[in-house]
Amino acid sequence: MKQILSIVVASLALSLGTQAQAQSAVDVGVIKNEDVKIVQKLLYPKADRLEMGGHLAVMPFDAFTFTPAAALTVAKHIREDLGFEGVLMGGYSLKNTRYTELEGPAYGVSPDAYRFLGSVMVDAQYSPIYAKMNVAGQRIFHHDIFFTGGLGATIEQAMQPDNSLASAPTLGLGVGARVFTGGGYALRFQLRDDILREKRAKTVDTQGWFIKQNVSLVIGISKLSK
């Protein structure tokens, strides 16, 4: 009799536990993609903040020159996805091996190349992507992706002996990323393409006007205001 009573009590307890678990489950059905929203706050917001940065750059893709450069940037972010940035860049182009070969005794020709000296740009910056990434399962980094477009001016100098100067209106386009490191700091990586409409006195076959692209790889660090 005691054995039967024990079985009945155990069965009732199991039944009540199963009902309690069933009542705690909530069936919300299928969630549509458009119903999934990010509800958490951004860990590193940019809106209404200033961003100042220092950067090193290199222009490795020119046919006749190799150019190291440095840049200072100041940006004002009016929204999380939109800001405006001023860029002041300076550098000095060096002759690459192709240029040296052409002006050597085998050819004796000095290419009509111009060295980069400096530029000033004002860009609009659009940052549509904010995300985080897991690096080797050890650390989470927050980052964003941004696109830039703007106008400015560039000064270059002829590498031929007369060293004539040329100033050029410039259209600047770019894509980059910030990797936030904490404390308001961020590492910045960027690919820039500055398109120059340059007036060259010796380039007669195009009536003196020459279109040139200064493509640069940029890495730096920036600081967001509080």
Q: Measure the CA–CA gap between 221 and 42, rounded to whole angstroms.
A: 20
Q: Measure the CA–CA gap between 66 and 95, rounded to whole angstroms.
A: 6
In a domain, 218, yes or no: yes
Task: Quickly state the pLDDT bin for 87 (edges 50, 70, 90).
Answer: very high
Cβ atoms of 224 and 49 closer than 8 Å: yes
Closest CA to 79 of 51, 48, 50: 48
Percent of the chain with pLDDT over 90: 58
In a domain, 9, yes or no: no
Burial 177-208 (b: 16+ CB within 10 A, else e): bbebeeeeebbbebebebbbebebeeeeeeee
Residue 163, sorted as left (phi over 0), alpha (psi -120 to 50) or beta, turns out to be left
Domain that includes residue 60, residue range? 46-224
39-43, 96-100, 118-122, 202-206: least confidently modelled range: 202-206
| Helix and strand numbers, DSSP H then E, in the chain | 2, 9
Closest CA to 183 of 142, 221, 140, 224: 224
Task: Quickly state the pLDDT bin for 39 (edges 50, 70, 90).
Answer: very low
In a domain, 53, yes or no: yes
Average predicted confidence (pLDDT) for the chain: 85
In a domain, 4, yes or no: no
In a domain, 39, yes or no: no
Q: What is the CATH number of the domain that holds 167?
A: 2.40.160.20
**130-163 tens-digit pLDDT:** 998 888 888 888 999 999 999 999 999 998 888 8
**174-200 tens-digit pLDDT:** 999 999 998 999 999 999 999 999 887
In a domain, 2, yes or no: no
In a domain, 211, yes or no: yes
Q: How far is CA 37 from the centre of its chain?
A: 25
In a domain, 194, yes or no: yes
CA atoms within 13 A on the CB side of 15: 6
20-29, 59-68, 131-140: least confidently modelled range: 20-29
Domains identified in the chain, total number: 1
